[in-house]
């Protein structure tokens, strides 16, 4: 399914008016859109006329050659040709787990500065069993740049709280910014309740909205640089002035070398997410042998092996497009 091209448009109907939508990849839209309330009301001819640089999809676009469990939510988006190559359950609202941290990074990059000093409060105290943590304590300090690396590479939940509390002024206010930003970029079927993705009521997203959020985050060079890193080493400061060294490895199996993409595909980077409620999730930026970029996302896979086998199959479709 082709993508639609964002122009200054006005559709005068009793229920619909869209205007002043900006070009693909920009970090904001004057008026958010909804695949449910807008695109399903517009004919394919109108979509071609009132187009944007974003891929859209209103129904499943599957391929019998791709083995994908019915429970998974999956999408493959050709960024240059603005075309959805594969879609399964992409508009179904599901738990995002740590894919949430992409929105956290996007909001932090928009409203914070990389050299901003963050100071940990009690907000970093996360007691959930099995939660990925870097071990922050009240009074610890590091820069936003350091925290973003730890957040996106290692997926530390306490780093997410550190960022939210400092950039937003409070965690609650930062979460409000996350939801405002989601609407601004057109991700209208999601809602965030925290900045890390641990299971919480009223915290959900769709695979399509994750594509929109990831696409928006990629407009920041530092985001692309961080998600491409297989590891990260830094030093932050305790309240008493002592130093703490951090040496973390990526949670992304392709970057760690544990998993292999198709030979003609290069995985630039992405974000993983896993909770009992969300299952196993992964979103990637990948390029073909000509350097053309694609976003691939899989959510709610039943286990890690299934996640990577399905993602590899999805990436293989790039070689056939």
- Residues marked active site are found at 98, 101, 155
Nearby residues of 43 by Cβ (< 8 Å), 6 or more positions away: none
Residues making up the binding site for substrate: 271
Ordered alpha helix ranges (H), the chain: 44-49, 100-111, 144-149, 157-167, 171-184, 207-217, 221-227, 253-256, 304-318
Residue with tokens 């590479």: 153
C-alpha to C-alpha distance for 202 and 210, rounded to whole angstroms = 16
The C-alpha angle 321, 212, 186, rounded to 5 degrees, equals 130
Handedness of CA 31, 34, 35, 38 (dihedral sign): negative
Closest CA to 182 of 301, 242, 250, 99: 99
**DSSP assigned state of 54:** B
Distance of CA 213 to the CA centre of its chain: 5
Which of 158, 151, 161, 148 lies closest to 110, judged by CA?
Answer: 148
235, 243 in Cβ contact below 8 A? yes
Residue 199: count of CB within 10 angstroms of its CB: 14
Say how far apart CA 58 and CA 45 lie, in whole Å: 15
Residue 112: CA count within 13 A, CB half-sphere: 28
Binding residues: 271
């Amino acid at each position: 399914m082709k993508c639609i091209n964002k122009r200054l448009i006005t559709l005068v109907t009793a229920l619909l008016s869209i205007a002043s939508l900006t070009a693909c990849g920009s970090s904001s839209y004057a008026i958010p859109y909804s695949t449910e309330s807008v695109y399903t009301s517009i004919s394919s001819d109108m979509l071609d006329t009132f187009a944007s640089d974003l891929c859209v999809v209103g129904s499943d676009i599957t391929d019998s050659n791709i083995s994908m469990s019915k429970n998974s939510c999956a999408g493959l988006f050709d960024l240059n040709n603005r075309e959805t190559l594969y879609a399964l359950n992409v508009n179904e609202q599901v738990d995002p787990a740590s894919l949430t941290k992409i929105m956290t990074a996007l909001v932090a990059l928009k409203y914070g500065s990389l050299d901003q000093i963050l100071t940990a409060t009690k907000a970093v105290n996360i007691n959930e069993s099995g939660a990925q943590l870097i071990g922050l304590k009240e009074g610890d300090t590091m820069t936003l740049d350091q925290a973003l690396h730890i957040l996106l590479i290692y997926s530390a939940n306490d780093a997410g709280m550190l960022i939210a509390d400092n950039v937003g002024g409070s965690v609650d206010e930062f979460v409000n910014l996350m939801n405002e930003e989601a609407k601004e970029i057109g991700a209208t079927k999601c809602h965030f309740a925290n900045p890390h993705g641990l299971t919480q009521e009223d915290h959900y997203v769709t695979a399509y909205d994750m594509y929109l959020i990831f696409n928006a985050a990629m407009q920041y060079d530092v985001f692309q640089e961080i998600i491409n890193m297989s590891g990260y080493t830094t030093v932050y400061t305790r309240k008493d002035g002592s130093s703490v060294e951090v040496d973390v490895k990526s949670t992304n199996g392709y970057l760690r070398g544990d998993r292999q993409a198709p030979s003609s595909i290069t995985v630039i980077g992405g974000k993983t997410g896993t909770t009992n409620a969300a299952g196993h999730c992964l979103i990637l930026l990948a390029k073909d042998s000509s350097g053309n970029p694609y976003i691939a996302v899989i959510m709610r896979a039943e286990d890690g092996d299934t996640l990577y086998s399905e993602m590899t199959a999805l990436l293989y479709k790039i070689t056939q497009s």
